[in-house]
Amino acid sequence: MTGYRCGELFGEGRRDAASVMAHETFVLEDTDILDYLIKSDLIGETMKELLFVYKTLMKEGRLIYTGFDTDYEEMLYRYRNNEKDRVEFFEEVLDDIRKATGVNVRFCLWLCDSPQECLDSHNIDQARHLKEFEFDMYDTSDIGSEQ
């Protein structure tokens, strides 16, 4: 599979994986990473259960109010409001991946499926054209997949 990236849009260089995962999940409230990990063999059952609880609470909108019914809701509130806490949480997730796969994930890049998707994801003015941007192509694979 090939992924595309535009430095002008996304910024240059690699990013700390735990920081990116934390931001996507708890700031942008995107549960795609949680969904992927829950369905994968990359983490253990205990971590899958924890991610499932957080995903469910996020989908129910429980991150919005401040009254806590469970310790999980209190932790979600902390993760949403404290960068250090949310990054430490995903460092634990990455440690679980390392234990399950032997792969130490430290850095990542966000990629899109097509150059057009790169533009669409950043709401680029439709008057600008693909040819005005330089896109890098990356071959991708899933952690632990057979090559």
Number of neighbours of residue 86 by Cβ within 10 angstroms: 23
Q: Is the pTM of this model over 0.85?
A: no
Q: What is the pLDDT of residue 67?
A: 54
pLDDT digits (tens, 9 = 90+) for 12-60: 656 899 998 998 888 888 899 999 999 999 999 999 998 998 888 888 7
Q: At residue 129, does pLDDT exceed 80?
A: no
pLDDT digits (tens, 9 = 90+) for 96-126: 999 999 999 998 877 888 888 877 777 666 5
Residue at token pair 């999980």: 72
Classify burial at 132, counting beta carbons within 10 Å of its beta carbon; exposed 0-12, middle 13-18, buried 19 or more: exposed
Computed over every residue of the chain, the mean pLDDT equals 81
